Amino acid sequence: MKSCVTVSLLTEARGGPFILWDGLEKACESAARLGFDAIEIFAPGPDAIDVPELKKLLATHRLSVAAFGTGGGWIRHKLTLTSPSAEVRARGIEFISGMIHLASQFNAAVIVGSMQGRFEGEVSRTDALNHLGSALAKLAEMAGEKRVTILYEHLNRYETNLLNRIEDVLPFVKPLGANVKILADLFHMSIEESNIADAIRAAGSQIGHVHLADSNRRPAGLGHTDFKPVFAALKEIGYGGYVSAEAFPYPNPEAAAEQTIRAIRTLAK
């Protein structure tokens, strides 16, 4: 397993569950100094990234980009793939397509989380899942051409009412093809799963990325989740991808990053 730490560049989300906040230069310096293998970037959009500059920073600090988040499409532009508006859905697909193009330049994945939206009002659950499935199929085709993996993040019930548990996500994701994988966020799973380790075993090779946060969304070890059986299950399925710190920067970014890298090193042994 490889270690990763989240970096948010979106001012509207400041204070949210991302470890590092003060720009890519400082984030890369901190990540490298603490021994992380990669960073995960939460950007306002694809145009917010200076590609040559980021490549230079990564080379200097010997880091990779594990994934780019797309939540900026929801937070800044209110785009979802399940909107009742066909025009908004199309703009959502266009936004994520731009992130796929960006990710292809860094051998990184693209996360679809909050942009999945929810069903409500005139949009039934069936309609919403049809919209979401159709959008992800189109995006998967684009991603396949650029050799990018799409990571579908199933959220907890307070953030979406679509798919909340591994048993619901698996039959939805599998037909989308080999380059659509599940992002297993351990905070969301601590709310929804009766047994996180069993859910991970059930998902097996469909898991493409892991978000690490404790039961209170603070860094691992500062809540009451028992991570030992979770990491045992990840080892059992042969998971060799990234374990990414997506948690509140408690008590501050530096301390949160240090707490997380210690946890990953201990648990991944």
- Which are the catalytic amino acids? 153, 246
**Contact between 136 and 112 (Cβ < 8 Å):** yes
Amino acid identity, residue 224?
H
Residue 206 contacts by C-beta under 8 Å, 6 or more apart in sequence? 170, 173, 174, 181, 182
- Written as six digits, the tokens of 78 are 């209110």
Tokens of 191: 């709310």
Can you tell me the distance from the alpha carbon of 209 to that of 4, in angstroms, rounded to the nearest whole number?
A: 10
Distance of CA 14 to the CA centre of its chain: 17
| Among the listed residues 192, 234, 252, the one whose alpha carbon sits nearest the alpha carbon of residue 244 | 234
Phi-psi region of 38 (alpha: psi -120 to 50; beta: other; left: phi over 0): beta
Beta strand residue intervals within 104-251, DSSP E: 109-112, 150-153, 180-185, 207-212, 242-245
Residue 226: both structure tokens together: 């028992």
